[in-house]
Amino acid sequence: MKVHIEPKPQNMVNTFLLIFVIHSMQVGVGIQGFQRIIYLEARHDAWISVILGGVATAIIGFIMVKTLSVYENSDLYGIQYDVLGKWLGNMINVLFVLYFLGGFHVIVRNYIEVIQAWVFPEVPTWLLSLTLVYLVYYGLNGGLRTVVGVSFFSVVLSLWLVMLLAYPIQFANWDYLFPIFEAKITEILRGAKQMTFTVIGFEIIYVIYPFLKEKDRVHRHMQYGLAFTTILYLAIMVVSLAYFSGGQLERTIWGTLSLFKIVRFPFIERFEYVAITFWVLLILPNLMLYMWAATRGISRIFNKKEQKISWILLTFIFLTLLYPLTRVQINMFNDYFAKGALYIVFVYPLLLFGAVLIKKKFSRKKDEANAQTNE
């Protein structure tokens, strides 16, 4: 495996678009009902947990970019191969491929569940799965630039949904936000931990980094995307806390979707149906980039063509989606995935950064020793 990558000019992406890539990766199925799981831990101070979760993403995002900047132009797979060696490095690479595939599977499972629970209860799972898988394959055929374009339009075309938060604000009871700091520090931290499933996705920087043009601007634009996501989640959490009572929020599985139920237009009676079906535009960048990252991983490890690999991986994912799961089983799957993501996204980057610094230090000493010997 080549550690350094030399992408073709036609595959390079403007770094400014990283803002949209990061934001679109963080806004998917998690935003539909994150309020309840945070509230169960931190109660009225759930909004503080959201802020702490955003701060954690900013810190880890900084660590990720610093790790990548040590190498001239490499990705996660190449760095792990270089630092950990062929066998251990490729074992960890395969683990990350499985993680990306797991993220794809979780997103599709949760979105199909929402579609069947709210809009089309009679539509079979295989048909919805096949539709999403085909859309992903169609997007991947266009290459990374097409996928990034989908991320851009996903963000731009969905901004109007944010404006609809003005409807529940009319009925908000701001007393529900008080007293502040009622929860213990440990409870607030547990609430921030529960944000894991909602805010993951920014780890895509590990794979997309070599394809960004202006490397010196990567960190700045990544932080813009992370900040945009944190502000959005904070606004939704504050509105939800002010609109729902504590008892209601504990029983509301999809809090954000429930906020859309009060939206009324003269020509649309059940606006939440429009929001749910429109949500496919929000999850498509998630699915495309997760599958692209997994395909890149297999291609780099086994030196195979990406197009054939994407066919195989999408077929495999489609077959796994045919296995029926209950609501309880889907929740368990989400919990297990979130626990794994906590270590993969928030803990492992610190270890990898340390390993890269140690590798760099020893390499420098070795080069200096060789230079002295040659003299």
b/e sequence 81-103, b meaning 16+ C-beta within 10 Å: bbbbeeeebbebbeebbebbbbb
In this prediction, residue 368 carries a pLDDT of 60
In this prediction, residue 371 carries a pLDDT of 58
In this prediction, residue 324 carries a pLDDT of 85
With beta carbons less than 8 A apart as the criterion, state whether 71 and 4 touch: yes
| CATH code where residue 344 lies | 1.20.1740.10
71: in domain: yes
The structure's pTM equals 0.92
152: in domain: yes
At 223-280, the pLDDT tens digits run 999 999 999 999 999 999 888 887 788 888 888 888 888 877 776 777 778 888 888 8
Number of domains within the chain:
1
Q: Structural domain of residue 332, as residue ranges? A: 9-364
207: in domain: yes
In this prediction, residue 30 carries a pLDDT of 82
374: in domain: no
59: in domain: yes
In this prediction, residue 367 carries a pLDDT of 60
2: in domain: no
1: in domain: no
- Beta-carbon neighbour count of residue 43 at 10 Å? 19
142: in domain: yes
The residue among 347, 337, 10, 65 whose CA lies nearest residue 223 is: 65
Q: What average pLDDT values come out for the chain (375 residues) when binned by 10 residues?
A: 83 93 89 88 91 95 94 90 90 95 93 88 91 92 91 88 82 84 90 91 94 92 94 92 84 83 75 82 92 94 86 93 87 91 94 91 69 60
